[in-house]
Structure 1
Amino acid sequence: MTEGSGSTGPSGHAHGPRVPGAANRRWWDDNADGYQHEHGEFLRDTGFVWGPEGLDEADAGLLGDIRGLRVLEVGCGAAQCARWLRTAGAHPVGVDVSFRQAQHARRLDEVTGVTVPVITADASALPFADAAFDVACSAYGALPFVADLNAALREVARVLRERGRWVFSVSHPVRWAFPDDPGPAGLVADRSYFDRTPYVETDSSGRWVYAEYHRTLGDWVRALTATGFVVRDLVEPAWPADNTNVWGGWSPLRGRLLPGTAIFVCQRP
């Protein structure tokens, strides 16, 4: 990430000042405990869930056959997904900007007896050699929070081997036109889908301490193709009838009417 804040253009770059990467890192360190306490049961200590709808990689198979493959999880949090990958026969490595999340990963290693290496690093500067991995994945990790999306995608492309698969999920872009409310108020659009002004939080002095960047579906496709990826599929999971969870603005009420998650299935040529 680079310094300062601003809206995001069609190429995936954020123009103008951007929130400092160190600020986002501090935010995730400060909020890691609360995040794991609130969502840990849903995520499971060893489980790969693509988003609040509960789509499980064990059922979806979006990564393909990962047995024996080297897999990088970008923005891994406490490495729940990477830990599942290990049990499925892969050789996973997790990377996350938050050191506190990495500590939670170590805690879950001890609880489960399934250990995965987790490295603290920025998604825009991955500390791995070229073509080090066969597959890369990310479930709501890192990408929505980087100002320069293309820089992060170039890094993923660099560490993937030729024809390596890259699958990631993000909040569905259409949700940005609606209030982040799980109730009826969240069903009425109150802003333009094309307004790429990022969501930000500030401290008492007005400094940015957290940012999440909005890209349209077209922005995502252009950024992926500009960095050399081929988009093979776009998965928009429906909300299952048996999922009664409310997670921020995601809920059964909204999930029946609006897409909540977009999963991009890509490949490096």
Structure 2
Amino acid sequence: MQEPVSSESAFRSASESALEPEATRRAAGTAESSRANRGWWDRNADEYQTEHGTFLGDDRFVWGPEGLDEAEAELLGPPEELKGRDVLEIGAGAAQCSRWLAAQGARPVALDISHRQLQHALRIGGSFPLVCADAGALPFADASFDLACSAYGALPFVAEPVEVLREVRRVLRRGGRFVFSVTHPIRWAFPDEPGPEGLSVSGSYFDRTPYVEQDEEGRAVYVEHHRTLGDRVRDVVAAGFRLVDLVEPEWPAWNTSEWGGWSPLRGNLIPGTAIFVCERD
């Protein structure tokens, strides 16, 4: 079976380990997914930041491989209105988005499951808190934040996304906004290739069996979970949010990058990223 598109492949390195894990499709629960992905990010954080640091910048807020910038999109609101706002970034990596938010006068907190990713955040610098924790159990009091955001963080990798969404809603104040981006669900049906071979459907869009990379003993070392577009909408509603926008960024002419299955060829023909703009009433 063709490997499904991986949202992580948006930024994964082209180089591979000598001991390649086995790629398969099988069930993977909450604990296994969390353990596997924490380990994957800790092992690969250095390579990831080397490979993609230039594109991400130190203090740029980019929503996905297309390069849509929050300064342009204003999905969290006009930049001038971010001043003094408490903002939680989930799946922050090296906290580039939080650094941009801080420059606008916001008070960000950058959270990631990977200790090594947050070490890169420390290396780059910034005067805001860094928190190592699982998105499914946020270590914050109710109504702690005005806004929350996640650019390709957490949600593609968790077995129970509604649990994460409910946790985010819990820590948001009334009227708060949560904006998150994930690989567009249609990509699941296509092979993870940047050229013409990546334009033919190779699997079922409706097959929700997780994509798992496992070691020789069958232990998961990377897990990604698929949700259809309808599933994502239902998850948002089930968590108590109101969906106010769904953004599908087009591939811009200036972006000539190719990463895994991401390329101008594919980006000009099928959507690559879905951004959900949600509000807590």
Q: TM-score, normalised by structure 2?
A: 0.88
- Does structure 2 conserve the Cα–Cα contact (< 8 Å) formed by 1:197 and 1:214? yes
Task: Give the structure 2 partner of residue 40 of structure 1.
Answer: 53
What fraction of aligned residue pairs are identical, expressed as a percent? 66
Matched, 1:207 2:207: no
| Amino acid in the other structure paired with 1:186 | G
Unaligned runs of 5+ in 1: 8-13
Matched, 1:107 2:107: no
Instruction: State how far apart, in whole Å, the 2-side matches of 1:63 and 1:226 are.
Output: 22
| Amino acid in the other structure paired with 1:156 | V
Instruction: State how far apart, in whole Å, the 2-side matches of 1:6 and 1:153 are.
Output: 24
Residue 116 of structure 1: how far off its partner (Å): 2.4
CA 1:17/1:25 → structure 2, altered by over 3 Å: closer, same or farther? closer
Matched, 1:127 2:143: no
Task: Give the structure 2 partner of residue 98 of structure 1.
Answer: 114
Matched, 1:54 2:70: no
Matched, 1:230 2:242: yes
| Amino acid in the other structure paired with 1:33 | D
Matched, 1:174 2:186: yes
Instruction: State how far apart, in whole Å, the 1-side matches of 2:30 and 2:130 are.
Output: 31
Instruction: State how far apart, in whole Å, the 2-side matches of 1:224 and 1:261 are.
Output: 17
Instruction: State how far apart, in whole Å, the 1-side matches of 2:163 and 2:272 are.
Output: 25
| Amino acid in the other structure paired with 1:189 | V
Could you say what secondary structure the match of 1:26 adopts? helix
Structure 1 residues 163-219: Cα deviation after superposition (integer angstroms, max 9, x where no partner): 100000000000001001111111111111101111110112121111010000110
Equivalent runs, 1:113-262 vs 2, <5 Å: 114-262=126-274
Task: Give the structure 1 partner of residue 88 of structure 2.
Answer: 72
Instruction: State how far apart, in whole Å, the 2-side matches of 1:67 and 1:265 are.
Output: 20
Matched, 1:21 2:34: yes
Residue 24 of structure 1: how far off its partner (Å): 1.6
Instruction: State how far apart, in whole Å, the 1-side matches of 2:88 and 2:114 are.
Output: 16
Residue 150 of structure 1: how far off its partner (Å): 1.1
Residue 115 of structure 1: how far off its partner (Å): 2.6
- Does structure 2 conserve the Cα–Cα contact (< 8 Å) formed by 1:71 and 1:90? yes
| Amino acid in the other structure paired with 2:117 | Q
Residue 73 of structure 1: how far off its partner (Å): 0.2
Residue 247 of structure 1: how far off its partner (Å): 1.9
Instruction: State how far apart, in whole Å, the 2-side matches of 1:234 and 1:159 are.
Output: 22
| Runs ≥4 residues deviating over 6 A | none
Residue 249 of structure 1: how far off its partner (Å): 1.1
Matched, 1:30 2:46: no
Instruction: State how far apart, in whole Å, the 2-side matches of 1:95 and 1:47 are.
Output: 17
Instruction: State how far apart, in whole Å, the 1-side matches of 2:212 and 2:55 are.
Output: 26
Unaligned runs of 5+ in 2: 1-24
Instruction: State how far apart, in whole Å, the 1-side matches of 2:72 and 2:46 are.
Output: 29
| Amino acid in the other structure paired with 1:220 | R
Residue 27 of structure 1: how far off its partner (Å): 1.0
| Amino acid in the other structure paired with 1:190 | S
Give the superposed CA RMSD: 1.4
- Does structure 1 conserve the Cα–Cα contact (< 8 Å) formed by 2:185 and 2:228? yes
